Structure 1
Amino acid sequence: MSSTPLDAPLDRAPLDTPLDTPFAALHRRPGAPLLLPNAWDHASAAVLAEQGFAAIGTTSLGVAAAAGLPDGAAATRDETLRLARRLGGSGRYLLSVDVENGFSDDPDEVAAFAAELADAGVVGINLEDGRPDGTLTPAALHAAKITAVKAAAPALFVNARTDTHWLALPDPDEETDRRLDAYQLAGADGLFVPGLTDPAAIERLCGGLARPLNILYTPTGPTLPELAALGVARVSLGSYLYRTALAAAVSTALAIRAGTPGPAAAPVDAPAYATVQALYADGR
C-alpha cells in the first residue's frame, strides 16, 4: 500500500495554473464544449476520427463487454492498457482513457498505471470514485489517487469523476460539492458528474468550480447546445455509442432474418447499461 497518509498535505499547490496542453485547451472554449465520443476498439476510434473528432475517449463498459468482463470491477486493467497502446500512438486524435477507479485502491499503483498510459501516448484519464458494490470510495482516498497521478504524470489530464448522482444519496448535491472541492484541490484538471441532468444544478456547478465541468450526455437530458449555454466544458457520450451499436447490429440481423433488405421496421432500442453489464455473467 501507499506509504503516504491520506490526510497528509497535498504535494501540489492547490489550484495551481491550469494544465497547458492541446487536450486541456479543448476544455477552455466558452460556448463550445468538447464533445468526447467514446470508442471501444481500433475500428470505432478510427471511424470517429475520420469524422473530425479531435479527441476520443474510451468507454470502460465497451472495453469490458467486448472482452466478456464486468465493468467497474477492476477486471480490465490489462485490456485497457492493451487498447491504449494500440490507439495512443496513432497521431490522428487525442486519446483519453476511462480507467474506472484506477484498478486499485493504492494511490501509488494507480499512479504507476497512469504513467504507463502516458508513455503509450494517452493524454487524459477518467478516474471515478464509484465502487462495484454501489458505494463511493472515501473522498480522501480518491483525492490521494489524483495527487499521486499528477505527481507521476504531470501532463496527463485527470478528469475526476464522482458518482454521487448515480447513487441513491439523501442529498447528492451536498456530497457532490464536498467531493468536487476535494478533487480539484487534489490536482484534478477536470470534474465529471455523470447522472446530473438538472439544468439549474449544472449551471450552479459551472459557476462555482475552478476546473471545467464534464457532463454525461443522455437522450432524455439537455441537448449539446443547452449544455453549452449552461457553461459545461466537456460532454462525454460514455457507453451510449457502444450500446447503440449493439442495437443496430441486432436490428439489422432481425431485418435480414425477416427478409427485409434494410434496417428493421421497428429498430431495437439501445440496451441499458445494466443489460450489457450482465452479459459477461453467462458468456452470451
Structure 2
Amino acid sequence: MNKIQEFNNLHHSKDLLFLGNAWDLLSALTLEKAGFKAVGTTSWGIANSLGYADGELIDFKRHLGIIKTITDNVKIPVSADIEAGYGEDTETIVDNVLRTADVGVAGINIEDSLKKQKGLKDITEQCNLLSKIKTALEQHGYKDFYINARTDTYFQLENPLPVTIERSKSYVESGASGIFVPGLLQKNEIKEIVANVNAPLNVLSLPGLTNCNELNEWGVKRFSFGNALSDKVIDLLQKSAEQLLESKDTSFLYEN
C-alpha cells in the first residue's frame, strides 16, 4: 500500500484522523516520533518560520522545497497546505498541484478564499478548478490523491451554514475527497454538515473545540491544529530569549 492509499484509508477508519501540523523538518520528525499517523504542513507556520505573514507571500518554489524536505525524511503520509494554489489562473494552480504531488505528498489542502481581497471565489470557478485538478492528477498517475477542499465560509460570512453545505456538496461533486471547514465550532452545525455532505469532514482546533473523542462522536473524520503548535513554540522561544537577556543567567535552560 502506498502513502496515498494509506492516507485515504485514515479518513475512513472508525477513529478520527488526528493530523499533526508541521512547519519544518524538525517539527515533522518530532510529530512522527510522537506517534502521529500523518502530518499536514501549515502555510502559516512555514511563512512565520521564514519571516513572512501567511497569504501566499513566499515564492512557491521555496514553499515547495520545504514540503519536499519533509516528505523526503518522514515515513508517514504528508498533506500539503498550498493555500489557494499560488496562482492567478487555473492552469498555473493545476500545475502547482502536480508539482506538489511530484514531491511525494499524499494530499493537499486547497481553499476558496481570495488572496488579494476579502471574499470567496465564485463557486462555479472553484468547482471547475477542483474538477481540473482531479482530472490532471489521475492523468499523471495520482489516483486517489487526497484533495481536501477548504471553504472559508465561517471566516467570511455572517450566516455561513447554508452556504457551507452548498459549497461542500458542490466541491465533492467536482472531485474533492474531503471538506475542511475552519472556524466551525458548534456541535449542531458540525453534525448537520456531516449529515448533509457525503465526504469526510475536517475541522480546525480552536478554543472551545479541542477534544478528538467528542469530535469523533459527532462524525468528524479529521482534526488538525493548524498553526497553534508553531505559535506556541515561537512564543516560548520569544519569552525564553527575553528571560535570558533580562536575567543574564542561563540556568533556567537546564531545568526540567
Q: Is 1:54 matched up with 2:43?
A: no
2:175 aligns with 187
One-letter code of the match for 2:55?
A: G
1:205 aligns with 193
How far off its partner does 1:247 sit?
1.1
Q: Is 1:142 matched up with 2:96?
A: no
1:233 aligns with 221
Does the residue aligned with 2:214 lie in a helix, a strand or coil?
helix
Given that 2:28 and 2:74 are in contact with CA atoms closer than 8 Å, whether structure 1 keeps it comes out as no
Equivalent residues in 2 for 1:9-88 (5 A)?
Answer: 21-30=5-14, 32-73=15-56, 75-88=58-71
Distance 2:21 2:215 in 1: 18
TM-score between both structures, scaled by the size of structure 1? 0.80
How far off its partner does 1:109 sit?
1.6
* Count, aligned residues: 242
TM-score between both structures, scaled by the size of structure 2? 0.88
**Equivalent of 2:136 in 152, 156, 162:** 152
How far off its partner does 1:254 sit?
3.1
2:184 aligns with 196
Q: Is 1:262 matched up with 2:246?
A: no
Given that 1:74 and 1:101 are in contact with CA atoms closer than 8 Å, whether structure 2 keeps it comes out as no
| Deviations 1:63-103, CA, capped at 9 Å, x for gaps | 11222233123544122211122122335111100000001
Distance 2:101 2:41 in 1: 15
One-letter code of the match for 2:127?
A: A
Q: Is 1:166 matched up with 2:152?
A: no
Q: Is 1:104 matched up with 2:87?
A: yes
One-letter code of the match for 1:25?
A: N
Q: Quick one: percent identity of the two aligned structures?
A: 32
Distance 2:51 2:125 in 1: 29
Q: Which runs of 5+ in 1 are unaligned?
A: 1-19, 264-284
Does the residue aligned with 1:89 lie in a helix, a strand or coil?
helix
Q: Is 1:128 matched up with 2:118?
A: no
1:276 aligns with none
How far off its partner does 1:261 sit?
4.0
Does the residue aligned with 1:22 lie in a helix, a strand or coil?
helix
Does the residue aligned with 2:78 lie in a helix, a strand or coil?
strand
CA RMSD of aligned residues (A): 1.8
Distance 2:57 2:204 in 1: 21
Does the residue aligned with 1:166 lie in a helix, a strand or coil?
helix
Given that 1:74 and 1:100 are in contact with CA atoms closer than 8 Å, whether structure 2 keeps it comes out as no
Distance 1:106 1:95 in 2: 26
Distance 1:76 1:125 in 2: 18
